[in-house]
Structure 1
Amino acid sequence: MKKISKSYFLNFVLIFGLTLFALWFALKDHYREVMNSLAQVRWYWFIIIIAWGIFYTVVIGLILTLLAREYKKNYTIKEGLVNGFVGAFFSGITPSATGGQFAQAYIFKKQGIKVSDGASLLYADFIIYQTTMIAYVTILFLLRFSYYYQTVSQFFIFILFGYFFNSSIIVLLWTMAKFPKVYIKLSTWAVKLLHKIHIIKDEQRTLEGWSIQLNAFTTEIKQLKDKKKLIFKAVLLNVLRLTVWFTLPYAVAVAIGVDMHLSMLLDVVAMSAFVSMANAFIPVPGASGGTELVFTWIFSATMMSAMQASSVMILWRFSTYHLILLIGGAVFLFAKRKYDHQKFVTEGEHI
């Protein structure tokens, strides 16, 4: 427990340090101009921007609610929202968002869903989201590929690598489901090799764990094929989720007074998507530091000045990351206290 707490503390320190560096980089050439720009934003815009960022995580909660009801019919939207914010919190404080699904599986268990079922629906959530995201970005590429290539040519190699990296995950997942025996053989060979060079200690336990996970994953894929209505609803919600995420910079730009036309909305969506693609190579918690820099570089190279891009980035990042960390952390503490109390009461009744 102490090791985990220490790890989270170090992650918070890393997030704080990288965020400070990104802010310094964004403000070093035009600190006063950015501060003046932010000071002129009307109060109602702050409310809209904050609500916009929160709504993104609310949609995640709705998706989890939809999927969870396949295993627990009376699963409530409130429970889904709790899980959505807890997942966002742990994804934000762990490298490459690795802690999010573990935390969500824990919350699902506390909410009355078996660990195996929780893992299955999280697999389904990830597969549907990842597939939808790649399809979404592919459409953006096809619409104006040559224009985007010329506009952000200096960053396009990273964007393409991010796109192919995320696409390869989908290909890997679907081939794992199609040829599970091949992946079991490959994983067995890899685990034995890692055991020989003393990276993995318990070879048998690791292999058993991998087999259980792979079987759960392939089972979920097979079940998903027969749930077309569920998939359709989940895809629609994920399209909404991505659209909310990618359009927020447009609203922030309008709020700070950037001359934005409605015809530029598609380009803003594309640039926001490209930031997400490039983030695939930033393994630190919350992609801190790198996200802010990539966002500022891409938007200042395309549709606004560096000062305006820095101003937009500060409000956008606060709404979609820092604020969600605060809310998610508070929700987790409240939920943990509630579920621990319920466990205590239940155990007391059996004494």
Structure 2
Amino acid sequence: MKLNKKYLFNIVLILALTFVAMYFALKDDYKLAMQALERMNTFNMILVLSWGLLFTMVWGISYQILGAKYKKNYSLLEGINVAFIGNFFAGITPSSTGGQIGQIYVLKKQGISYSDGASLLWADFIIYQTTMMIYVTILFALRFTHYVNLSAWFWIVFAGYLMNVVVIVILYTIAIFPVFYLRLIDKLLNVVSRFKFFKKREAALVKTKDTITRFTKEIKHLSQDRVLIVKCMLVNIVRLSLHFSLPYFVARGIGIDVHLNQFVDVMALSSFVTMANSFIPLPGASGGTEVVFSLLFRGMFGALTGAVLLLWRISSYYIPMIAGALIFIVFKNRHDHQPDSEDHQDSDQEDPVELLVEDQAVIKEEIPIVSSIKKAEQPA
């Protein structure tokens, strides 16, 4: 029950921060925003609200492609389940840290071992992060000089971009120079172990070595399958395009006069919101996401920025997260009596979140690499 309270607190925090942020975004133009939403036809409303489900399902295609390496006839539906459930747990945990634990749990139930599941998640992370940074770099190059002069807040966006670049650089240099990083970490642990609060130097070193070894192995293994890399990169390009273009279609749907030549501007600003979220460690980046969106899009959408923000946030975050929660409950109930659930014979009476957290300790102990995967890919 204690663990349930933790997740419940995160959900309440998400709702509270979102409410406060939405209040300030809408308080001056509330009537205009509501009138715009009322004028929106049913088809446009359904299209916009289902948009987040669409790019989450596209994410599932990546998992289907990668999952086929480890399990014969791994289906698209299985990949979509991994995407939605990962999205749910990432959405209710700070800095999306719960997403990968949820995903590796699901992969295990689908017949993919913890170690193979960890390798799959590393491959997904590496390909996605690389694709995203190439994509965002192009958008930065196209629109950086224009937007850098519009708001002092833009430098927060740029700092988030640089932080993501640093992550990519570190990952690839670890793969190229693993021995250097192991020596560096050993020296750092020697320094830190002098303090009384740090008594597990050897355990930390073993886990770090294991993480680097597995990561290096996965990079080398992945580099040999160029067809798989290209397929996953193409899927991620589609996914990112859907994600970044959503505000454009929301704006069109509520009657804002945005032209086709502003499409790239909208995608650029949307990608900048994603970059800024790197500094928001709260569950779902709640509160900060709404503020950054309002600041960046105010110049384009004017008084109706709040209306666009409301639909965009519901579509890209809340609906996929709720769908992920429902899918997880159904998934858990269907897999209760399968062989690999034998450690949880009484799971019929257990809460889905409690069941996951029980396995989380096992996953982190057996596969320390999973604890090191930090994704920026969950939709803002």
Measured against the shorter chain, the TM-score band is: over 0.9
Q: Percent identity?
A: 45
Q: CA deviation at 1:201?
A: 4.5
Q: CA deviation at 1:9?
A: 1.7
Is residue 173 of structure 2 the alignment partner of residue 175 of structure 1?
Answer: yes
- Kept in 2, the 8 Å contact 1:95–1:283? The answer is yes
Q: Which residue is 2:3 aligned to?
A: 4
Q: CA deviation at 1:72?
A: 1.0
- Kept in 1, the 8 Å contact 2:143–2:265? The answer is no
- Kept in 2, the 8 Å contact 1:11–1:93? The answer is yes
Q: Which residue is 1:304 aligned to?
A: 301
Deviations 1:44-82, CA, capped at 9 Å, x for gaps: 111101221111110111101111111112111111011
Alignment of 1:210-229 (within 5 A): 210-229=208-227
Paired residue secondary structure (1:74): coil
Is residue 38 of structure 2 the alignment partner of residue 39 of structure 1?
Answer: yes
Alignment of 1:87-106 (within 5 A): 87-106=86-105
Q: CA deviation at 1:199?
A: 4.4
CA–CA separation in structure 2 for the residues paired with 1:196 and 1:330: 47
Q: Which amino acid aligns with 2:290?
A: E
Q: Which amino acid aligns with 1:208?
A: V
Alignment of 1:14-163 (within 5 A): 14-150=13-149, 152-163=150-161
Q: Which amino acid aligns with 1:334?
A: V
Decide whether aligned partners of structure 1 residues 143 and 102 sit closer, same or farther in structure 2, where only a CA change above 3 A counts. same
CA–CA separation in structure 2 for the residues paired with 1:175 and 1:216: 14
- Kept in 2, the 8 Å contact 1:116–1:216? The answer is no
Q: Which amino acid aligns with 1:321?
A: Y
Q: CA deviation at 1:13?
A: 1.7
- Kept in 1, the 8 Å contact 2:92–2:283? The answer is yes
Q: Which amino acid aligns with 1:339?
A: H
CA–CA separation in structure 2 for the residues paired with 1:92 and 1:255: 26
How many residues are treated as equivalent by the alignment?
344
Decide whether aligned partners of structure 1 residues 79 and 200 sit closer, same or farther in structure 2, where only a CA change above 3 A counts. farther
CA–CA separation in structure 1 for the residues paired with 2:141 and 2:72: 40
Decide whether aligned partners of structure 1 residues 158 and 81 sit closer, same or farther in structure 2, where only a CA change above 3 A counts. same
Decide whether aligned partners of structure 1 residues 184 and 26 sit closer, same or farther in structure 2, where only a CA change above 3 A counts. same
- Kept in 1, the 8 Å contact 2:244–2:270? The answer is yes
Q: CA deviation at 1:195?
A: 4.1
Deviations 1:64-102, CA, capped at 9 Å, x for gaps: 111111111211111101100000001111111111111
CA–CA separation in structure 2 for the residues paired with 1:197 and 1:10: 33
Decide whether aligned partners of structure 1 residues 262 and 344 sit closer, same or farther in structure 2, where only a CA change above 3 A counts. closer
- Kept in 2, the 8 Å contact 1:177–1:218? The answer is yes
Q: CA deviation at 1:104?
A: 0.6
CA–CA separation in structure 1 for the residues paired with 2:12 and 2:267: 31
Deviations 1:240-274, CA, capped at 9 Å, x for gaps: 01000000100000011100111110110001011
Q: Which amino acid aligns with 1:311?
A: A
CA–CA separation in structure 2 for the residues paired with 1:343 and 1:337: 14
- Kept in 2, the 8 Å contact 1:86–1:331? The answer is yes
CA–CA separation in structure 2 for the residues paired with 1:318 and 1:202: 43
CA–CA separation in structure 2 for the residues paired with 1:241 and 1:148: 24
CA–CA separation in structure 1 for the residues paired with 2:240 and 2:215: 24
Alignment of 1:280-319 (within 5 A): 280-301=278-299, 303-305=300-302, 307-319=303-315
- Kept in 1, the 8 Å contact 2:29–2:306? The answer is no
Q: Which amino acid aligns with 2:270?
A: S
Q: Which residue is 2:375 aligned to?
A: none
Decide whether aligned partners of structure 1 residues 224 and 182 sit closer, same or farther in structure 2, where only a CA change above 3 A counts. same
Q: Which amino acid aligns with 1:74?
A: N
Decide whether aligned partners of structure 1 residues 72 and 142 sit closer, same or farther in structure 2, where only a CA change above 3 A counts. same
Q: CA deviation at 1:3?
A: 4.2
Q: Which amino acid aligns with 2:8?
A: F
- Kept in 1, the 8 Å contact 2:104–2:114? The answer is yes
Paired residue secondary structure (1:304): helix
Q: Which residue is 2:378 aligned to?
A: none
RMSD of equivalent CA atoms: 1.7
CA–CA separation in structure 2 for the residues paired with 1:139 and 1:10: 39
Q: Which amino acid aligns with 1:160?
A: F
CA–CA separation in structure 1 for the residues paired with 2:327 and 2:10: 19
Q: Which amino acid aligns with 1:312?
A: V
- Kept in 2, the 8 Å contact 1:191–1:200? The answer is no
CA–CA separation in structure 2 for the residues paired with 1:174 and 1:208: 21
- Kept in 1, the 8 Å contact 2:109–2:341? The answer is no
Decide whether aligned partners of structure 1 residues 163 and 66 sit closer, same or farther in structure 2, where only a CA change above 3 A counts. same
Decide whether aligned partners of structure 1 residues 345 and 10 sit closer, same or farther in structure 2, where only a CA change above 3 A counts. closer
CA–CA separation in structure 2 for the residues paired with 1:118 and 1:340: 19
Q: Which residue is 2:371 aligned to?
A: none
- Kept in 1, the 8 Å contact 2:82–2:106? The answer is yes
CA–CA separation in structure 2 for the residues paired with 1:202 and 1:129: 33
Decide whether aligned partners of structure 1 residues 200 and 9 sit closer, same or farther in structure 2, where only a CA change above 3 A counts. farther
Paired residue secondary structure (1:240): helix
Q: Which amino acid aligns with 1:337?
A: N
Q: CA deviation at 1:213?
A: 1.7
Q: Which residue is 1:334 aligned to?
A: 330
For structure 1, which runs of at least 5 residues remain unmatched after alignment? none
Correspondent of 1:275 among 273, 276, 300: 273
